[in-house]
Structure 1
Amino acid sequence: MEPAATLPRGLERYFSDDPLLHIELIESLRHGHGHVIDAGARGVLIRHGRSGLYMLSATDPAYGDHLVSQLPDDTRVLHVCQEWLADLAMAKRGLLGKMTCHKLVYLKKTPLVYEPRLRIRRTVPEEAGAIIAHYDLYDPDGLRETIRAGRLWSGYLGEQFVGFIGRHGEGSMGFLHVFEPYRQQGYAVELESFLTNLVLARGEVPRGDVIVGNEASLRLQKKLGFQEASGLVCWVFGRET
């Protein structure tokens, strides 16, 4: 991966040890969405301005504790590049949930070649009910907001709603779902290829997270040429009330 010219001094070296693992932090800074709250040779804390997401990485518990101490009291969602750091943040900040994922990144500059069979367009609010009924990895309000923001796309075969895919607020790809009657027919590949090419065309790096244990999705990403980071990333969320 080519170094991003807009990275603050010192961070390029930190990220260079594992750029795939840190791709969300790199892309947030490269596109001007990330604000560096703290950074040093042993870690970094970034706030993604568009989504309000906090992202952090550290090499050791002492510096990790230093970064976690700077999180606001109302922090609700974190993207963390080390699982031990996610556990530390949960303990220190009263966050209750953790989702551990493989990080997959498409580093090629060439678009994916596929046979277009679906009519793919931005999802409209009228489709929210069907999507909410079949996708339980995101809360209904979050799905409605994703639709309103224009970050979800629907695929149709004629008049039949086949599936959908989208982007999270920080830019990662996700939400991939194909309805039961249309599975095992290559439509997941088509939806994933469509969005990968769209992200490429916008000058961004296509990337996404696959929950540990979802081997089918992991195989799909690798089949399309996505590369896996050496370590796992974690999403941490949900506050004690």
Structure 2
Amino acid sequence: MEQMERARAWLERDSVLHANLLEVLRRGSADVLIAEEGGVLLHDTGCGAWMLAAEPEAVEAFLDRVPAGCDLFVGHDMAYFDLARARFGLPEQEICWSAAYLGKDPLPVPAFNGELRLLDRSWAPWLSAHYSHDFGGPAYMERAADRGIIGVFVEGQPAGFVGFHDEGSIGMLEVLPAYRRRGLGEILQRAAINLALERGQIPFGQVIDGNEASLALQRKLGMSVSHTTLFWLMG
């Protein structure tokens, strides 16, 4: 427990940038491998990622604790991006901004000509077919439904959805082309933040660098955006 508290205290120095590590600590799925003055190294048994937040001068010793077969790694300082990429040889990468809602009160959800519903596993094939990213397929969407996928319906027809990725971030925000420019994306994001608050989760998301429209939406909803980017490496 002492190590867990040390990890949490270090990460709370920048709770927006480190929202993903703080969430896996909160839900109890993280093994704390290192928690010391130089930083924190976690392994999340939920999504399988090795998560590192460390001072650049201390990072070599932290990376030595990550197994060579690591196939999912997230680092929270671009200063060691090249080092981690060379160490693990993972071919895919994403550079992201972290956004977190630090308030306690739920957000108002504007009235609109439709309704919001939680979607169960039976929706997984449809969700996979309509998600604009090739990410995991129906099996991933089944797990996402277990975590909570919110669907928006207009005149009884599914118009979009939002959910939570394996490590707890709000994502998979998708509005079908025929229903765009009606504010449904904002409604879905508000609903996802509120669902996270209701469940005691940290409402946070990660926005791929360069997606200015998504960053603008996060800020509009009162989410704080990290001052620096983080990176994912994937096999």
Q: 1:83 aligns with which of 57, 60, 78?
A: 78
Superposed, 1:129-208 pairs within 5 Å as 129=126, 131-136=128-133, 138-140=135-137, 143-147=140-144, 149-208=146-205
> Shift in Å at residue 92 of structure 1?
0.4
> Shift in Å at residue 50 of structure 1?
2.0
Moved more, 144-153 or 172-181: 144-153
- Rounded Cα–Cα distance in structure 2 between residues aligned with 1:170 and 1:217: 20
Residue 46 of structure 2 corresponds to 50
Output one character per residue of 1:171-227: Cα deviation in whole Å (capped at 9) or x when no partner. Answer: 111010101111110101111111110100111220000111111111111111101
Look up the equivalent residue of 1:103 and give its one-letter code.
S
Task: List alignment gaps of at least 5 residues for structure 2.
Answer: none
Would you identify which runs of 4 or more consecutive aligned residues in structure 1 move more than 6 Å? none
> Shift in Å at residue 69 of structure 1?
1.7
SS at match of 2:11: helix
* 2:60 counterpart of 1:60: no
Task: List alignment gaps of at least 5 residues for structure 1.
Answer: none
* 2:65 counterpart of 1:70: yes
Look up the equivalent residue of 2:6 and give its one-letter code.
G
> Shift in Å at residue 147 of structure 1?
4.2
Instruction: Give the TM-score normalised by structure 1.
Output: 0.87
> Shift in Å at residue 24 of structure 1?
1.3
Contact 1:189-1:220 at 8 Å conserved across structures = yes
Do the aligned partners of residues 11 and 124 (structure 1) sit closer, same or farther apart at CA in structure 2, a change above 3 Å counting? closer
Q: 1:28 aligns with which of 24, 28, 33?
A: 24
> Shift in Å at residue 21 of structure 1?
0.9
C-alpha RMSD of matched pairs (Å): 2.2
Contact 2:130-2:176 at 8 Å conserved across structures = no
Output one character per residue of 1:135-167: Cα deviation in whole Å (capped at 9) or x when no partner. Answer: 215232563343453443322113321111110
Contact 2:56-2:79 at 8 Å conserved across structures = no
Identity of aligned residues (%): 29
> Shift in Å at residue 126 of structure 1?
4.3
Contact 1:6-1:30 at 8 Å conserved across structures = no
* 2:88 counterpart of 1:93: yes
Contact 1:122-1:150 at 8 Å conserved across structures = no
> Shift in Å at residue 127 of structure 1?
5.0
Moved more, 89-98 or 24-33: 24-33
Do the aligned partners of residues 126 and 202 (structure 1) sit closer, same or farther apart at CA in structure 2, a change above 3 Å counting? closer
Do the aligned partners of residues 43 and 175 (structure 1) sit closer, same or farther apart at CA in structure 2, a change above 3 Å counting? same
Look up the equivalent residue of 2:106 and give its one-letter code.
P
- Rounded Cα–Cα distance in structure 2 between residues aligned with 1:12 and 1:160: 43
Instruction: Give the TM-score normalised by structure 2.
Output: 0.89
SS at match of 1:44: strand
The structure whose residues are more often helix, as a share, is 2
- Rounded Cα–Cα distance in structure 2 between residues aligned with 1:75 and 1:151: 28
Aligned residue pair count = 233
- Rounded Cα–Cα distance in structure 2 between residues aligned with 1:9 and 1:179: 43
> Shift in Å at residue 99 of structure 1?
0.4
- Rounded Cα–Cα distance in structure 2 between residues aligned with 1:121 and 1:21: 29
